[in-house]
């Protein structure tokens, strides 16, 4: 906030103007004589005239006048010499001649507000009687000559607003009569000289807007006559000298935009006449002195943009004349003092960007002259006070970024024509948008985004004929977009995204001829894109994505020649990409992904020479990649994946030197990857997976220094993994899965210290796992499954403490499971099945408390199942089948309450089925076949209401089939054959309507075949042979239309075969 040079400055300038009046008197006196006594000065004056294009001046001199120079406008001649020259604002241009230094009787020299250039002549030191020198408002350059220290009578000196450089001469301390010193708005450097403390008569000291450094001289405290001090916009540092309290007549103090530190001196309370105090944009600290409450005449105070802390002093309520008070951008805490309601003349109040809490004081409603209210970005809570409706002159209302709640007061409609900007975004406001606000006839900006507003958009707001910016995004607003808003003829920004709006886009909005930003994305809008919007010729940003829009992209939108970004992705748009859009000459972002677009990529889009991001992925586009796109020299992101594109990769795309993301995966692209792409030195992500690419691994000799993601999986690439890839030291994601790669894993990839995911599954890789890769400490996913790798699992990999997935199954690994892997505290998936691993299951793996899946099946593991694995409380899949495990099933595994698949089959496990496993409420698969289990089938397993597969055949289980299992209504396979089960087949199993496999053969079951099993309409395999079943074959089984195998032999079943 820069305070303008206001009324105080003009008042102080009155003294400066007295000298100008004195010059006019001298001029009048000089013209009362018929003959001029100053003709001997014609050479000096003529030199000035010639050097400054005198003929083009305003009121040029008559060089042939008989009484020259006394008759010349702006020249005063008294006592037989030129004593004053006042040529301000006369269009002088050129340089000042050194010969003017001969005018030794000169007392006033004013050439301000002209177009003079060059340096200030040192010869002017000859003006030993000069009192006023005004060289301001020109373009003088160079240093300020120290020679001018001879001006011992100088009182007014002004060189402001030039291009002067260098230091101020310390010898100017000789100017003991100086009153007005003005060097502002130059490029002066150096320090403020303490020697100037000798200026006992100075009233105005103006050095602002230069490049001064150093501290504020303590010695200046001797300036007892000072009224105006301006040192703002420099590079001054240090503290504010407390001795400046001696300036008891000071009116204005400006020191903002410097590098001042320290605290505010409480002694400044002695400035009883202070009107303006501006110290903003520094690094001042501490609290605000209570003593400043003595400033009874202050109107303007700027404390903003410092590091002040503590409370806002309540005693400042004594500032009865306060007009502008700025506390913003500090670290003030506590609450807003209600006492400030006494500031009845206040016009601007700013406390933004602090840490204030509490509520907005209702007492502030007494600020009847308030224009600007800024309290944004604090921790204020409570509601918006209805008393503020009395602010009849309010123009700017900013309360955004707080924790305000409640509704928008309808009474604020009384702000009528005065309110210009209403900003209450990013709070916790709720309720509806008050229709009463339609009375705000001059509002230009309305922002309530990121709250909890609900209800519909009031049609009455169509009366806001001055609205330019509307921000209502991030709420829960519903209903449709009112067509009445067509009256917003000058609206420029409309942001209504992230709500629950429905309906279509009103074609009536075609009247928004000045609209630049239109954002309605992330709603529930439907219908088509109105072709009438083609009239938005000023449009730069259009976001309609994440809705339910249908129809095609209107070719008429080609009229948006100023468009920079188009986002209509994640809709249901169909049709082709209009070639007419090639008219978007300044387009930078084109995003239409995730629609139903068809056709080809228009070659005409090559006209988009500024495009940076291009997203057409996840559509139904076909055809080839246009070679013409190579003209996109600014392109950074190219994503066309998940389409039906075919053909080869254009080598010409190597011209995309700014490219960082290339994503063409999941298409039908073929051929080899062009070696020319080596030119992409800025590439970060390269994804071509899921195509028909052939050849060897690409770019083996390319140094891509920024590459972090490399995806070439699901192609037909052969050859080996290039060792040169080790130079890609920023690599994080490497996918080469599902190809025909051979050879070994390069040890040099240990250089990928930032690696997070490594996937080479389903290739023909051989060799061992390089122990050197242990340095990849950030690795989260390691997938080498389905290869021909050998050797042991390196214990050094225990350093991968961020690992979440380890998949090395279906290889030829040997050896034991390293106990050191217990350090993988974030592990979720451990998959090493189908290898030749041996040894026992390490107890220390109990540390994997976040484990979700554990697959070690089809190896040669021995020993027992560790009880300690009960710590895996998030486990969902436990597969240890096909090993040589023994011992019993630990009852402690009941803690796996999220388990859905349990497979311990094909081992040598003994003991009974623990009834405690009934805690697995979400279990879907239970496989324990081919073990040596004994005991009964636990009725408590009826708790498995989501069970689909129950397979426990080839054990030594006994007892009956529990009727309680009737609740397994999702069951598809029940296999209990080859046990010692007795009893009958439960009739209630008929509730298993999805069952397709039922094998109970080779038991000792009795009774008849239940007719209720007819409900198994999807039955495919029914085995009950080798039991003691009797009775007849139920004719109802004819409902098993999908039956493939039916075995009932070696029973006591009688009767005939049902013809059904």
According to DSSP, the residues that pair with 350 across neighbouring strands are: 326, 374
68 close to 49: Cβ distance less than 8 angstroms? no
Q: Which residues of 865-892 are buried (b: 16+ CB within 10 A; e: fewer)?
A: bbebbbbbebbbbbbbbbbebeeebbeb
CB atoms within 10 A of CB 1059: 6
Residue 184 CA, distance from chain mean position: 40
222 close to 246: Cβ distance less than 8 angstroms? yes
How high is the pLDDT of residue 14? Answer: 43
Q: Could you give the percent of the chain with pLDDT greater than 70?
A: 97
How much is the pTM?
A: 0.84
Asked, as a colleague might, if the bond just before 552 is cis with ω within 30 of 0, I would say no
Classify residue 473 as exposed, middle or buried by CB count within 10 Å of its CB (0-12, 13-18, 19+): buried
430 close to 405: Cβ distance less than 8 angstroms? yes
Which residues, other chains included, contact 169 with Cβ-Cβ below 8 Å and sequence gap of 6+?
144, 145, 146, 148, 149
Q: Is 941 helix (H, G, I), strand (E, B) or coil?
A: helix
361 close to 339: Cβ distance less than 8 angstroms? no
Architecture (CATH level 2) of domain 911-1059: Alpha-Beta Horseshoe (3.80)
How high is the pLDDT of residue 550? Answer: 98
- The CA distance from 583 to 563, in Å, is 9
Q: Which of 526, 524, 475, 520 is nearest to 504 (CA)?
A: 526
Residues of the chain within CATH 3.80.10.10 domain(s) are: 40-140, 911-1059
How high is the pLDDT of residue 6? Answer: 44
Which residues in the chain land under pLDDT 70?
1-34, 1060
Q: Which of 113, 136, 120 is nearest to 183 (CA)?
A: 136
Q: Which residue has the tokens 């009182």?
A: 155
How high is the pLDDT of residue 8? Answer: 47
How high is the pLDDT of residue 408? Answer: 98
How high is the pLDDT of residue 108? Answer: 98
- The CA distance from 65 to 81, in Å, is 18
Phi and psi at 108, nearest 5°, equal -130, 130
Tokens of 469: 């910016």
DSSP structure string for 44-88? HHHHHHHHTTGGGSSS---TT-TTTTTTSTTEEEETTEEEEEE-T
CB atoms within 10 A of CB 32: 7
- The CA distance from 677 to 693, in Å, is 15
CATH number assigned to the domain with residue range 40-140, chosen from the 4 options 3.80.10.10, 3.30.1360.70, 3.40.50.300, 3.40.220.10: 3.80.10.10
Tokens of 931: 């073990």
Q: What is the C-alpha radius of gyration for the chain, rounded to an integer number of angstroms?
A: 44
- The CA distance from 641 to 617, in Å, is 5
Tokens of 1031: 């009775």
Q: How far is CA 177 from CA 132, 228, 449, 486, in A?
A: 11, 17, 60, 68
Per residue in 4-31, pLDDT (tens digit) is: 344 444 444 444 444 444 444 444 444 4
- The CA distance from 844 to 875, in Å, is 16
């Amino acid at each position: 906030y820069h305070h303008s040079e206001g009324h105080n400055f003009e008042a102080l300038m009155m003294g400066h103007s007295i000298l100008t009046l004195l010059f006019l008197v001298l001029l009048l006196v000089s013209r009362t004589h018929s003959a001029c006594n100053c003709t001997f000065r014609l050479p000096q004056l003529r030199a000035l005239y010639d050097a400054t294009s005198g003929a083009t001046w305003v009121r040029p001199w008559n060089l042939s006048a008989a009484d020259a120079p006394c008759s010349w406008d702006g020249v005063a001649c008294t006592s037989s010499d030129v004593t004053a020259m006042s040529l301000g604002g006369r269009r002088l241009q050129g340089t000042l001649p050194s010969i003017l230094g001969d005018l030794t009787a000169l007392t006033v020299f004013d050439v301000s507000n002209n177009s003079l250039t060059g340096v200030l002549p040192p010869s002017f030191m000859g003006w030993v009687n000069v009192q006023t020198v005004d060289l301001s408002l020109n373009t003088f350059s160079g240093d300020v000559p120290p020679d001018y220290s001879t001006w011992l009578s100088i009182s007014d000196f002004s060189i402001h607003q030039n291009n002067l450089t260098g230091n101020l001469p310390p010898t100017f301390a000789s100017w003991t009569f100086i009153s007005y010193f003005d060097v502002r708005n130059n490029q002066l450097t150096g320090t403020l000289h303490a020697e100037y403390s000798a200026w006992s008569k100075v009233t105005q000291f103006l050095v602002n807007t230069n490049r001064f450094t150093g501290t504020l001289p303590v010695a200046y405290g001797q300036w007892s006559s000072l009224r105006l001090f301006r040192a703002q916009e420099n590079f001054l540092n240090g503290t504010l000298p407390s001795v400046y309290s001696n300036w008891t007549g000071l009116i204005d103090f400006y020191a903002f935009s410097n590098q001042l530190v320290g605290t505010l001196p409480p002694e400044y309370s002695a400035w009883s006449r202070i009107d303006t105090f501006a110290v903003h944009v520094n690094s001042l600290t501490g609290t605000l002195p209570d003593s400043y409450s003595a400033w009874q005449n202050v109107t303007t105070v700027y404390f903003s943009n410092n590091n002040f802390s503590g409370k806002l002093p309540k005693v400042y309520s004594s500032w009865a004349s306060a007009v502008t008070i700025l506390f913003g951008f500090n670290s003030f805490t506590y609450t807003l003092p209600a006492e400030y309601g006494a500031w009845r003349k206040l016009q601007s109040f700013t406390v933004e960007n602090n840490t204030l809490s509490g509520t907005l004081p209702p007492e502030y409603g007494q600020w009847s002259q308030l224009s600007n209210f800024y309290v944004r970005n604090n921790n204020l809570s409570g509601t918006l006070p209805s008393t503020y409706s009395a602010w009849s002159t309010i123009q700017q209302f900013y309360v955004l970024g707080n924790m305000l709640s409640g509704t928008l007061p309808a009474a604020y409609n009384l702000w009528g024509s005065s309110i210009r900007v209403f900003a209450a975004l990013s709070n916790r406001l709720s309720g509806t948008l008050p229709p009463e606000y339609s009375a705000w006839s001059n509002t230009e900006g309305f922002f309530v985004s990121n709250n909890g507003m609900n209800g519909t958009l009031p049609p009455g707001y169509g009366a806001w004929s001055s609205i330019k910016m509307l921000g209502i995004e991030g709420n829960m607003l519903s209903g449709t977009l009112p067509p009445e808003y067509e009256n917003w003829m000058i609206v420029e920004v409309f942001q209504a995204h992230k709500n629950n709006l429905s309906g279509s886009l009103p074609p009536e909005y075609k009247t928004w001829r000045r609209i630049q930003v239109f954002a309605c994305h992330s709603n529930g809008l439907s219908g088509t894109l109105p072709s009438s919007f083609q009239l938005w010729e000023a449009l730069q940003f259009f976001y309609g994505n994440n809705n339910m829009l249908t129809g095609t992209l209107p070719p008429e939108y080609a009229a948006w020649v100023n468009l920079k970004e188009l986002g209509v992705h994640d809709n249901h748009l169909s049709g082709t990409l209009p070639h007419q859009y090639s008219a978007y000459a300044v387009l930078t972002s084109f995003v239409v992904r995730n629609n139903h677009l068809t056709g080809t990529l228009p070659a005409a889009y090559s006209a988009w020479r500024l495009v940076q991001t291009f997203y057409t992925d996840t559509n139904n586009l076909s055809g080839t990649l246009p070679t013409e796109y190579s003209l996109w020299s600014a392109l950074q992101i190219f994503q066309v994946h998940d389409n039906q594109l075919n053909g080869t990769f254009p080598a010409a795309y190597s011209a995309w030197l700014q490219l960082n993301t290339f994503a063409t995966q999941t298409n039908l692209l073929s051929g080899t990857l062009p070696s020319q792409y080596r030119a992409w030195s800025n590439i970060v992500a390269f994804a071509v997976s899921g195509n028909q690419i052939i050849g060897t691994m690409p770019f083996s000799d390319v140094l891509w220094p920024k590459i972090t993601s490399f995806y070439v999986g699901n192609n037909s690439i052969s050859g080996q993994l290039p060792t040169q890839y080790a130079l890609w030291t920023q690599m994080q994601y490497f996918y080469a899965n599902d190809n025909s790669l051979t050879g070994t894993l390069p040890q040099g990839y240990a250089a990928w210290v930032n690696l997070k995911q490594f996937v080479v599954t389903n290739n023909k890789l051989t060799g061992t796992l390089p122990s050197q890769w242990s340095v990849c400490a950030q690795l989260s996913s390691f997938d080498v499954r389905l290869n021909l790798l050998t050797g042991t699992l390196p214990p050094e990999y225990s350093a991968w403490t961020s690992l979440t997935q380890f998949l090395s199954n279906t290889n030829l690994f040997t050896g034991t499971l390293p106990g050191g892997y217990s350090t993988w505290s974030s592990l979720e998936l451990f998959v090493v099945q189908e290898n030749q691993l041996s040894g026992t299951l390490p107890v220390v793996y109990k540390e994997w408390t976040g484990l979700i899946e554990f697959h070690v099946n089809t190896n040669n593991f021995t020993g027992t199942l560790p009880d300690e694995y009960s710590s895996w409380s998030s486990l969902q899949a436990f597969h240890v089948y096909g090993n040589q495990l023994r011992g019993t099933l630990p009852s402690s595994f009941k803690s796996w309450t999220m388990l859905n698949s349990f497979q311990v089959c094909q081992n040598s496990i003994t003991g009974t089925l623990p009834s405690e496993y009934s805690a697995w409420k979400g279990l879907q698969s239970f496989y324990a076949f081919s073990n040596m289990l004994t005991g009964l089938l636990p009725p408590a397993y009826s708790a498995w209401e989501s069970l689909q597969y129950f397979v426990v055949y080839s054990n030594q289980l006994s007892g009956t089939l529990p009727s309680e299992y009737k609740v397994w209504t999702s069951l598809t396979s029940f296999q209990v054959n080859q046990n010692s089960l007795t009893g009958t087949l439960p009739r209630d199993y008929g509730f298993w309507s999805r069952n397709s496999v039922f094998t109970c053969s080779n038991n000792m079951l009795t009774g008849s075949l239940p007719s209720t099993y007819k409900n198994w309409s999807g039955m495919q395999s029914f085995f009950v042979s080798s039991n003691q079943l009797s009775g007849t074959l139920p004719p109802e089984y004819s409902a098993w239309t999908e039956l493939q195998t039916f075995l009932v032999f070696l029973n006591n079943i009688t009767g005939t075969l049902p013809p059904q």
